[in-house]
Amino acid sequence: MSILVNNDTKLVVQGITGRDGQFHAGRMKAYGTNVVAGTSPGKGGEEVEGIPVFNSVKEAVEKTGANTSIIFVPAAFAADAILEASYAGIELVIAITEGVPILDMIKVTPILKNNGTKLIGPNCPGLITPDAALVGILPGMIFKRGNIGLMSRSGTLTYEVVNMLTMNDMGQSTVVGVGGDPVAGLYYIDLLEMYENDPETDAVVLIGEIGGDAEEQAADYIAKHMTKPVVAFIAGQTAPPGKRMGHAGAIISSGSGSAEEKIKAFAKAGVPVAKEPSEIPKLLKEKMAKETV
């Protein structure tokens, strides 16, 4: 039944009384997401977009049964907000906030693992299971329910590729924006395993970019464990070495992290790599047809 979010998702919006929190809480609710609560210390008892506000995540969980959280708080407080959600028993946290200090995330990550809390982000657009739950800042109108899973380090490329898939009548099961920070939550391998085990996902699109070795690790995992078709695109193919490009993780250094290396890794794993995003629907159709013969 898709991955991570669905009709059973009960969402609490941390920072709901702020500008971004209020705006996106309204959008998520309008999409059909079951937004059951918001939090803002000292403002408990108020309502935002018809959503009850609590002083703490613990109180929100106790009163509403919330199981998922989305974070719209400033970077300096984001790590504490993530931990608050985790200790309150939230199963999945989506951190939209960008600029969260890397050292904060290094401290938070092992605690989340110990608590059994899944994290998407930080510095991500969130995720969506079309026609079920939108948890993030994604433009809901471009998504179409279907059987293609998609995960991406780039927010804007996610929107572009999803729109192309939808225009080619290739709907999506669940789309996840993992974000581009060097230290983040669930990443390619975690999601590949989920898509592989999801009966509603028949194929996967992976959108990567230069920097780090996450794509190379994903290619190795695909070769060893994936039975479903996978196609990829790597952003930053013309980026010069040593220059940061956009995301904190999008930098080529010490001869590693280049688009060429990532493309070679995928080719070795039998994963077609699009030269341009517009090629993805065609490559996906060809890969799916080939593997069903």
Catalytic positions, written as ranges: 247
The mean pLDDT value of the chain amounts to 92
In a domain, 284, yes or no: yes
pLDDT in tens, 238-250: 555 555 545 545 4
Clarify whether residues 152 and 100 are in a common domain: no
For residues 74 and 97, the answer to whether their CB atoms sit within 8 Å is yes
Clarify whether residues 115 and 147 are in a common domain: no
pLDDT band at 128 (very low <50, low <70, confident <90, very high): very high
Clarify whether residues 203 and 273 are in a common domain: yes
Domain range holding 71?
11-120
pLDDT at 252: 46
In a domain, 195, yes or no: yes
pLDDT at 238: 57
β-strands 172-177, 126-129: how paired? antiparallel
Q: Is the dihedral of CA 263, 162, 191, 252 positive or negative?
A: positive
Cα-only R_g, the chain: 19
Number of domains in the chain: 2
Clarify whether residues 85 and 56 are in a common domain: yes
In a domain, 125, yes or no: no
Judged by DSSP in three states, 284 sits in helix
* Unique residue bearing structure tokens 């703490």: 56
pLDDT at 254: 46
Within 10 Å of residue 279's Cβ, how many Cβ atoms? 15
Clarify whether residues 84 and 40 are in a common domain: yes
Average pLDDT over residues 255-270: 86
pLDDT band at 180 (very low <50, low <70, confident <90, very high): confident
Q: Which CATH number fits the domain that encloses residue 86?
A: 3.40.50.720
pLDDT at 248: 46
Clarify whether residues 223 and 88 are in a common domain: no
In a domain, 132, yes or no: no
Clarify whether residues 159 and 93 are in a common domain: no
Average pLDDT over residues 194-213: 95
pLDDT at 293: 55
pLDDT in tens, 87-116: 999 999 999 999 999 999 999 999 999 999
In a domain, 257, yes or no: yes
Dist CA 119 CA 79 (whole Å): 11
In a domain, 209, yes or no: yes
Clarify whether residues 146 and 105 are in a common domain: no
Clarify whether residues 21 and 99 are in a common domain: yes
Residue 216, both tokens = 């190379």
User: For residue 69, is it left (φ>0), alpha (ψ between -120 and 50) or beta?
Assistant: beta
Dist CA 137 CA 291 (whole Å): 34
Clarify whether residues 41 and 171 are in a common domain: no
Clarify whether residues 83 and 191 are in a common domain: no
Clarify whether residues 92 and 164 are in a common domain: no
In a domain, 4, yes or no: no
Q: Which CATH number fits the domain that encloses residue 247?
A: 3.40.50.261
In a domain, 174, yes or no: yes
pLDDT band at 61 (very low <50, low <70, confident <90, very high): very high
E-only strand ranges, the chain: 11-14, 35-39, 47-48, 51-54, 68-71, 92-95, 118-120, 126-129, 133-136, 145-152, 172-177, 203-209, 230-235, 273-274
pLDDT band at 32 (very low <50, low <70, confident <90, very high): very high
Dist CA 233 CA 121 (whole Å): 20
